[in-house]
Amino acid sequence: PMVSDRLPPGLDALLDHLDGVVFTGSAANLDPTLYGAEAVATKGHRDPGRDATNLPLMKRVMERKIPMFCICRGHQELNVIMGGTLHQQVHEVEGNQDHRADENKPYDVRYGAQHDITIQPGGVLEKVYGSAALVKVNTVHEQAIEKPGPGLRVEATADDGVIEAVSVEGLASFNISVQWHPEHHVALEEPLNARLFEAFGDAARARLSARRGKAAGSTRAA
């Protein structure tokens, strides 16, 4: 099936009241037919309800220039709606390390820093964090971007070449998309992850302020 542009009822009206949207991770994997692939056996299950909701919702968030933060499955969803493809089992690609979580370890260890990423110059991540060459992030995913969708800028890569972060080029609103999980309390001890949430919050507050100012101006004009 093609990625639908139709929003479930009520969601467009809800966006009237939102100044930032986070597209979270999930144990479920995207339906491979949405990016023109046949399914291979993976541990993750499917979630057609999320596919039908998040993909058109993400398109609408971008159209309305609402600040957006995509995480893990959200990162993969962004790539798919931009016309990209996914590795369904990234660890089986020759030369790649195993990016899956070690389920024998406690959550606080799994979501701690595991491997380096290289931040690419000139992008959102460099603006948010600076030009540090290497930063460590966690890794708890079996799927990853294969071909980036047109219009996506690669923001960071792992040392095996796996794309760890992207942004949408030319989008007027703040947006960043990461393959790792910055939201876990252990991950938030890493300065990069804390700065990502601060930057997203700043963008949401700025949009709220502008929206309120526009509404106040309209009221005075009336």
Pick the catalytic residue from 72, 99, 164, 190.
72
Estimate to the nearest angstrom the gap between the alpha carbon of 22 and the chain centroid: 8
Instruction: Give the integer Cα–Cα distance in Å for 115 and 137.
Output: 6
Single-letter code of the amino acid located at 34: L
Catalytic residue flag (residue 72): yes
70 is catalytic: no
Give dist(CA 191, CA 122) in Å, integer.
19
Residue in this structure with the two tokens 């993976």, named with its chain if needed: 42
Other Cβ atoms closer than 10 A to 34 = 19
What single letter denotes the amino acid at residue 157? T
Active site residue 99: no
- Joined together, the tokens standing for residue 29 give 């994997």
DSSP symbol at 122: T
Q: Which of 65, 19, 64 is nearest to 212 (CA)?
A: 19
Catalytic residue among 75, 87, 99, 181: 181
Residues serving a catalytic function are: 72, 181, 183
